[in-house]
Structure 1
Amino acid sequence: MKGQLIKQHRKFKDMTLEELAEGICSVSYLSKIEHNTMNASDEIYRLIGERLNIRLENLNEEFDETIYKEIIHWHEAVQLKDYKLMDKLQKKCHKLLQKNHNIELSNLYKVVHSRYKLTKHNKPLSQKIAKELRVVLSQSSNEYRFLYYKTLGVHYFLNSEYKEAVKHFHCAEEMMEKLPNHDNELFYHFSLAYTRLRMYVESNYYANLAIEGYQKSLTYSKITDCYMMLAINYNFLGVHNVAERLFRKLLKGSKEHLSSVDEGRIYHNLGYIYTSQKKYSSAIDYLLIALKLKEEAQQSPVSTLFLLAQTSFQLDDNEAAWEYLSRGEREANDRNDTKYKHKFFVLKNKINQTTQEDSFIKELEKHVIPDLLTLNEFNDYKNHLEFLAELYYERRMYKKSSMFFIEANRYKSSQIKDLL
């Protein structure tokens, strides 16, 4: 076990065998130590430990079932986003591992700690941490590998690299088949990633798997999250009557499990449903409730302000449309929200009836559409491609129009192909 610990820390520090062995022992001797085919003297371990800044003499390397259970308990708290408990358990597990250096437990701690940081800070992992997790993958347990792939999937999701997220979740799913228990959270993350890729059928499949598991464990808050995902997917699929029923069911039956953030999302989506059905007055009512809830929860109101501006424009209420558009533009600029900067730019030109001007078409083609693809905003990417194609058609530039219509229709199949 000491040899494996030495090898891991050497790789973490980007040291070669020669660099670590210099002045301590031969390279071949160090290699045998790392492969656990030879036990060194306490003095050799002391010198190697000093160079790596770790303590190797008299380590307790026994697998401690109590520590293992505490790490798993910590991971469960992270999954449930119980911030108070997960902070407490992080400190407890760290303290326990100061006296026990079992390599399997140390590795499990590292991967759960990485997931803990992802959840607490809602930011992708640093390159250094991702590398440290990857270094031990080939020598790790199936449980570590499962947690590694799931954690990296969450990392890529937070980095808006949804295809990479799905690929890692599939690797995690393969590893999960080798473990005694299924992880419902993995199915939920699958659903989230597929929704971002606008692959709603796949997303619904995994959301239903997650619901089935969460119902068995009576994890009501997560059941609510999954039903929210299903409703959003049906919304985007255009099955608005089913989506509306699910959203209203959540408002009625899950009130005690809904945060103000989730409640704001529900009213926003109900507003979207009514806008899609051209029931603009009802849409405005729901969107105003959503806006109030988002502002109270200090959540970004940009998407709701955009829908309010767009819906007011459909009602020919240009005064209200300009008010919401101006507020939305300020919010998008303050938050450096590229997606909504572009969406407000396009809407502004629609209101001003300047979409046939050369400057608008150039901006749409050269900046707006490429940025939306880079951001993995595939639905907006497709919609703006179709809009550009229509503009070129109106100009009787049929070849360019056809090119953009073809690209709009191609993107869905190319997404699926990339994931195969």
Structure 2
Amino acid sequence: MIDIGYIIKLHRTKQNMTQEALSEGIVSLSYLSKIENQKAKANSEIIQALCNRLGIELTNIPDSNFEDKCKKWYDMLYDRFDKQEIITRYEELQNVMDKSINNQTIMFEIHKIRYYMILRDFQKALHKINELHEMADSFNSPHKYFWNKFQGNYYSFKGEHQQSLQCYKKAEKVHRSAEIEEEEIADLCYAISIQYSNLLNGLEAINYAKKAMTVFQQEYNFIRCAQCHILLGISYQRIKMNDNALENFEQAISLSKINSEEQIIQLAYLNLGRFYGLIGDLKQSIKNYLRVLDSESLEYEAKLEAITSLIQNFHQNNENTKAKEYLILAEDTLRLSEEKEYYDFYKYTTLVYTYLLNGKLKDFESILEEKFIPYLKQRKDYQYLVFYSKLLASHLEKMGKHRESMQYYKLATSSYDQLIKL
């Protein structure tokens, strides 16, 4: 059982109350510090006095339905609920939590990590992780499971895939003792599969995607099955099993259409666009990227990827007029985006082709050499390092800058070697 001292500290810091103000007339300052840091166990009278000063009630369950209300809110964080409804439910629960210490206090605090990520408030998510970190050793098994999983979610959103995978694997180790439901474990397997996919470990990505899909099939959860088929398609593509990849992408589309799940359908088309682009079928690649843009409810990142990929494909196909049309659409979309830093990749891609297609060749060289290629190196994005290093090398070669050209051909080769190792 978690020590109540940490929970008292949480309530004190939320109220911006100093240790001096809380301890005065109840315990010494040093003793309160020991209670809060789990170095001393206070008796029930002291705990009650501290709770009274904080204006909170020490109880098991504030009302008969409260635990169910908490669990329903937890479930909302996994589904496609309206954000405003999630916020409203959160505020209702927080009002109760502000006035009591109960058996949902810690689980509620842990779920705030995911809640903040849904709101795209990564700063608050990180603050909550740091706030809970010092008490993590005292978490029970269910707490540890979600604590590690949500940290994995955070690092995944931040693009730190190795760190994310480590957190997910810690959650996987504890799930049996935590008595976690099968569908929740399947969701963890799906999350692990995504990280293996991001780390270009195709075989492990396939292994975990299949584990997840086995459970989703038993539950007749066609949407989650479709998501697994997309992951399998990506993974089979990376190990050059193209027939298997194509079959999985098409299966994802079929399952998504059963529930008219537009976002998953568009994600499948997006991956089909990538698939055909990688095998050199630009016509089919363009066709699928255009299908992505047919959706009015398309998320910014999917829209930006489809647009920038169309620009690349039209340029490779010597259809520069069409490429310029989509450059305008890319610029308009980037202006509408609220998360500017999150879309740096697409910003750089758009600038590269803006300069290239409009003959601003010095700017083209500059953005690649000084900004985009260093950015890709930092991210260890070897796939795009190969592509853009070759693009720059080919341009420099045409300009007669053979020494500089060779430098970027070498970078493309070394980046490809890294891809092979992964």
- TM-score w.r.t. the length of structure 2 is 0.79
Q: Is the 8 A contact 1:60 1:100 kept in 2?
A: yes
**C-alpha distance in 2, partners of 1:243/1:405?**
26
**C-alpha distance in 2, partners of 1:273/1:177?**
38
Q: Is the 8 A contact 1:61 1:100 kept in 2?
A: no
2:257 alignment partner in structure 1: 255
1:210 alignment partner in structure 2: 212
1:21 Cα offset (Å): 3.1
Aligned match of 1:285 in 282, 287, 290?
287
Q: 1:65 to 1:113 in 2, by over 3 A?
A: farther
Provide, for residues 100-120 of structure 1, a one-character-per-residue CA deviation record: whole Å limited to 9, x for no partner: 623x4210121124323433x
After TM superposition, the structure 1 = structure 2 runs for residues 17-416 of structure 1, keeping only pairs within 5 Å, are 20-27=22-29, 29-30=31-32, 37-39=41-43, 41=45, 45-46=48-49, 48-49=50-51, 53-55=54-56, 59-61=58-60, 68=67, 70-83=69-82, 90=90, 101-102=101-102, 104-119=103-118, 121-126=119-124, 127-181=126-180, 182=182, 183-293=185-295, 296-300=296-300, 301-335=303-337, 336=340, 337-348=343-354, 351=357, 359-374=363-378, 377-388=381-392, 395-397=401-403, 400-401=407-408, 404-405=411-412, 407-409=414-416, 411-412=418-419
**C-alpha distance in 2, partners of 1:30/1:253?**
57
**C-alpha distance in 2, partners of 1:291/1:140?**
46
**C-alpha distance in 2, partners of 1:222/1:306?**
28
* Count of residue pairs brought into register by the alignment: 404
Q: Is the 8 A contact 2:56 2:101 kept in 1?
A: no
Provide, for residues 9-66 of structure 1, a one-character-per-residue CA deviation record: whole Å limited to 9, x for no partner: 4566788866743454324554675556442647x844x3466x3425xx22479997
**C-alpha distance in 2, partners of 1:106/1:333?**
41
* Larger RCO of the pair (alpha carbons < 8 Å, separation 6+): 1
1:184 Cα offset (Å): 1.4
Query: Which 10-residue stretch deviates more, 391-400 or 236-245?
Result: 391-400
Q: Is the 8 A contact 1:123 1:158 kept in 2?
A: no
**C-alpha distance in 1, partners of 2:44/2:273?**
70
**C-alpha distance in 2, partners of 1:236/1:353?**
35
SS of the equivalent of 1:25 reads: coil
Query: Which 10-residue stretch deviates more, 309-318 or 163-172?
Result: 309-318
Q: 1:241 to 1:325 in 2, by over 3 A?
A: farther
**C-alpha distance in 1, partners of 2:244/2:234?**
10
**C-alpha distance in 2, partners of 1:377/1:270?**
20
Alignment gaps of 5+ in structure 1: none
SS of the equivalent of 2:56 reads: coil
Q: 1:322 to 1:2 in 2, by over 3 A?
A: closer
**C-alpha distance in 2, partners of 1:319/1:140?**
60
SS of the equivalent of 1:79 reads: coil
**C-alpha distance in 2, partners of 1:271/1:62?**
52
Q: Is the 8 A contact 2:164 2:195 kept in 1?
A: yes
1:76 Cα offset (Å): 3.1
- TM-score w.r.t. the length of structure 1 is 0.79
Q: Is the 8 A contact 2:226 2:251 kept in 1?
A: no
Provide, for residues 359-414 of structure 1, a one-character-per-residue CA deviation record: whole Å limited to 9, x for no partner: 53343122111223445644223432454456667744287357524641464589
**C-alpha distance in 2, partners of 1:276/1:362?**
27
Q: Is the 8 A contact 1:12 1:135 kept in 2?
A: no
Q: 1:241 to 1:29 in 2, by over 3 A?
A: closer
Q: Is the 8 A contact 1:160 1:376 kept in 2?
A: no
Q: Is the 8 A contact 1:385 1:405 kept in 2?
A: yes
Q: Is the 8 A contact 2:229 2:251 kept in 1?
A: no
Identity of aligned residues (%): 22
**C-alpha distance in 2, partners of 1:322/1:4?**
58
